[in-house]
């Protein structure tokens, strides 16, 4: 069986950036990706200098095309289902849903995260008129009548204050969560309405939000907004490999992509189970790849 220098699990900006750096370092790299990146529902990606407004799939296609210049890098659409240590060979074993197995010296976990929303209907509008990151999509929604949908005090306060920078026409929907009088007063002083009723439904057409219906029957006109999801890792690879985590569930690293498990590295959203912009994730991948290449060098020199 061919032994790779590094297997990269996940072809988001972190994984692709890492593969580029490692390919340029003449390392044998195999990338595995199953197309479940969370920004696949987004119409445009913003904030990446020279690529502002690019479609996520186009961004990915450009990156993959660039990797074709490096013959030591391969890309596979297989889904990784398990990663283990091969103690006898002092290597790492990657198994896929196609019943294929691969050996490698190093693994980079760059599988990203997924969202869970406080209201299931949000998914019908997510990426088109409802978003989770004002820095990514606030400009396009500037000065529009917007909704803030969140169910925890800190999330509501943070997102409302932040989005107020892009639009003063805000209404907060807490879906049954009660806010303190102080918070409500702070919002009312800025002429921000708060509805604490449970949301019955969202109305709109082809992903474009038009109104939010409450259980009382009230129908509040809104043309877009921001929802605060919770985030989770879609796999247990870090746990399978005994990577240590901190009290917040983040994977402990040395700050340069190395985890506490020998040979296991991490980059992008996977590390903190929190959202990153494209440009930050790509930079994180580059940093982790530099650590991988240096460790391979020291192992062999």
> Residue 176: left if φ>0, alpha if ψ -120 to 50, beta else—which one?
left
Residue 173: enclosing H or E segment and its boundaries? strand 170-173
Q: Minimal CA–CA distance to 281: which of 7, 30, 38? A: 38
With 0-12 / 13-18 / 19 or more C-beta atoms within 10 angstroms meaning exposed / middle / buried, residue 61 is: exposed
pTM: 0.93
Q: Where are the domains of the chain?
A: 3-113+233-300, 116-227
Task: Please give the Cα distance from 102 to 91 (Å, whole number).
Answer: 10
**pLDDT the model gives residue 76:** 96
| Fold of the domain built from segment(s) 3-113+233-300 | FAD/NAD(P)-binding domain (3.50.50)
CATH superfamily to which 116-227 belongs: FAD/NAD(P)-binding domain (3.50.50.60)
What mean pLDDT do residues 246-265 have? 95
Give 62-71 pLDDT, tens digit per residue. Answer: 999 999 999 9
Give 152-166 pLDDT, tens digit per residue. Answer: 999 999 999 999 999
Fold: same for 3-113+233-300 and 116-227: yes
State yes or no: pLDDT of 99 exceeds 80: yes
Helix/strand number for the chain, H first, E second: 8, 17
Give 183-208 pLDDT, tens digit per residue. Answer: 999 999 999 999 999 999 999 999 99
């Amino acid at each position: 069986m061919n032994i790779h220098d590094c297997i990269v699990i996940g072809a988001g900006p972190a994984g692709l950036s890492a593969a580029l750096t490692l390919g340029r370092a003449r390392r044998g790299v195999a990338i595995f990706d199953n197309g479940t990146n969370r920004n696949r529902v987004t119409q445009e990606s913003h904030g990446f200098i020279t690529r502002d407004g690019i479609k996520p799939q186009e961004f990915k296609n450009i990156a993959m095309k660039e990797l074709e210049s490096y013959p030591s890098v391969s890309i596979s659409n297989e889904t990784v289902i398990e990663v283990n240590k091969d103690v006898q060979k002092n290597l790492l074993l990657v198994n896929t849903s196609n019943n294929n197995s691969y050996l490698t010296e190093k693994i980079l976990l760059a599988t990203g995260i997924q969202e869970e929303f406080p209201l299931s209907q949000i998914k019908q509008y997510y990426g088109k008129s409802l978003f989770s990151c004002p820095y990514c999509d606030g400009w396009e929604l500037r000065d529009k009548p917007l909704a803030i949908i969140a169910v925890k005090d800190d999330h509501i306060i943070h997102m409302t204050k932040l989005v107020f920078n892009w639009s003063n026409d805000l209404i907060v929907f807490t879906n049954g969560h009660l806010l303190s009088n102080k918070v409500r007063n702070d919002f009312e002083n800025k002429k921000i309405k708060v509805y604490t009723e449970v949301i019955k439904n969202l109305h709109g057409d082809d992903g474009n939000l038009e109104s939010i219906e409450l259980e009382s029957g009230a129908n509040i006109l809104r043309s877009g907004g921001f929802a605060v999801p919770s985030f989770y890792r879609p796999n247990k690879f870090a746990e399978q490999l005994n990577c240590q985590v901190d009290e917040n569930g983040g994977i402990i690293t040395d700050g340069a992509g190395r985890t506490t498990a020998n040979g296991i590295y991490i980059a992008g959203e996977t590390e903190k189970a929190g959202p990153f912009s494209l440009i930050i994730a790509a930079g994180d991948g580059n940093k982790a790849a530099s650590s991988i290449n240096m460790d391979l060098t020291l192992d062999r020199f």
